[in-house]
């Protein structure tokens, strides 16, 4: 995949048959994560981003998906998604970057959840993460 696109590292955070989704400013469901700092390892970036966006600590496992996502017309971002497990239970402390957080049952997943879009690439990453162990 081309490296000419900005990269966003996303976490598929699983807990008891549910996945953590965040509602972004575009009104779409999103996975927690973001861009790594210069020279920052993907896993370290994801641990930092999940903590910043949700207040939760995660263990990062295997990469489960990589795809290009058209965020806005003709504006693409390279998404790299990893399976994640919570290190400790806790209450979500949502950052200013998202409007809502929800633990959605894996059996409830579809292109739309509660009337909001779940991008196909994220849906595929969630399904892949749910089918494999957490190993790195």
The tokens describing 46, both together, are: 């994801």
**Residue boundaries of the structural domains of the chain:** 7-130
pLDDT of residue 21: 97
CA dihedral 92, 82, 116, 124 (to 10 degrees): -150
List all residues 6 or more positions away from 88 whose beta carbon is below 8 Å from its beta carbon: 57
What does the pLDDT profile of the chain (136 residues) look like in tens digits? 445 899 999 999 999 999 999 999 989 999 999 999 999 999 999 999 999 999 999 999 999 999 999 888 888 999 999 999 999 888 899 998 899 999 999 999 988 888 899 999 999 999 999 987 655 5
- Give the whole-angstrom CA distance, residue 13 versus residue 30: 11
SS3 120: helix
Q: Given this structure, which CATH class describes domain 7-130?
A: alpha beta
């Amino acid at each position: 995949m081309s490296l000419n696109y900005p990269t966003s590292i996303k976490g598929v955070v699983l807990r008891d048959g549910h996945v953590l989704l965040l509602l972004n400013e575009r009104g779409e469901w999103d996975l927690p994560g973001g861009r790594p700092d210069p020279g920052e390892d993907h896993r370290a970036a994801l641990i930092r981003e999940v903590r910043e966006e949700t207040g939760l600590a995660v263990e990062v496992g295997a990469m489960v998906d990589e795809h290009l996502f058209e965020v806005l017309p003709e504006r693409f971002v390279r998404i790299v998604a990893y399976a994640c497990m919570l290190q400790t239970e806790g209450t979500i402390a949502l950052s200013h970057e998202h409007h809502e957080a929800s633990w959605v049952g894996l059996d409830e997943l579809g292109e739309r959840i509660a009337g909001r879009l779940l991008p196909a690439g994220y849906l595929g990453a969630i399904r892949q993460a749910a089918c494999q162990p957490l190993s790195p």
